[in-house]
Amino acid sequence: MTLRRIEIVGSAVLKKRTAEIPEITPEVRQLAADMTETLQAAGGLAIAAPQVGEPVRIVVVDRGYLSWDALPEDERKGRGASPFGPETLVNPEITSREGEDEIEEGCLSVPGYRAPVKRARRVTYRWLDLDGAPHERSAEGLEAICIQHELDHLDGKLFIDRISRVKRTIALGKVKKYIKELDPEEDETAYRLYGES
């Protein structure tokens, strides 16, 4: 596994629609492993392949975060690590959307900024796993938001494309400030993820 540099807002790869994966090869499995390592180092909920510079339709979701969010607050207290872990979604697609919700989102490619975004409350989506087996699932809450956010990445969109121009300008300023203030001695991991070219 290799820790990958995270592409930030302004990167050309984040603006492109990604290509479907025609076949699950050792290279695809390696990319999924690299994405998993990068996601865990960054402490994120999910990551899409364009965020590590690869214009293909792969997402890694940390099911531990999603299951943790679904637990009642009193059950979260004092509980150890979740038995669920990262899961790779190959060629994911949303097949239905229902309702509307607004929740504050952040993004590994827009570090240092969060904003409320409107999305469908419930989605049904399907994907292939790394063995090529098909899956389908209905989700709501954080999982539904997460899937919509990550599939936007696969279509060349960031969550800040869904907010006002003024807020986008603020976001860009905060990202520049975040990157400028990175110190390799204070936070070596963040510097490796964002600061090294």
What six digits make up the tokens of 174? 């905060």
pLDDT number for residue 84: 56
6 in a domain, yes or no? no
pLDDT number for residue 196: 58
Rounded Cα distance between 33 and 3, Å, is: 9
80 in a domain, yes or no? yes
Annotated catalytic residue within 150, 181, 185, 186 = 150
pLDDT number for residue 74: 53
7 in a domain, yes or no? no
The total of structural domains in the chain comes to: 1
> How much is the pTM?
0.87
69 in a domain, yes or no? yes
Residue 197 confidence (pLDDT) above 90 = no
- Single-letter amino acid code for the residue at 79: R
128 in a domain, yes or no? yes
pLDDT in tens, 3-52: 999 999 999 999 999 999 999 999 999 999 999 999 999 988 999 999 99
> How confident is residue 189, by pLDDT bands cut at 50, 70 and 90?
confident
For the question of residue 87 being annotated catalytic, the response is no
Residue 117 confidence (pLDDT) above 60 = yes
Range of the domain at 98: 12-195
pLDDT number for residue 191: 85
pLDDT number for residue 82: 45
CATH of the domain at 65: 3.90.45.10
pLDDT in tens, 45-84: 999 999 999 999 999 998 776 555 554 555 444 444 444 5
> What interhelical angle do 63-70 and 142-154 show, nearest 10?
150
pLDDT in tens, 120-176: 999 999 999 999 999 999 999 888 999 999 999 999 999 999 999 999 999 999 999
Q: When comparing pLDDT for 86 and 195, which is higher? A: 86
Among residues 44, 18, 46, which one has the least CA distance to residue 32? 46
1 in a domain, yes or no? no
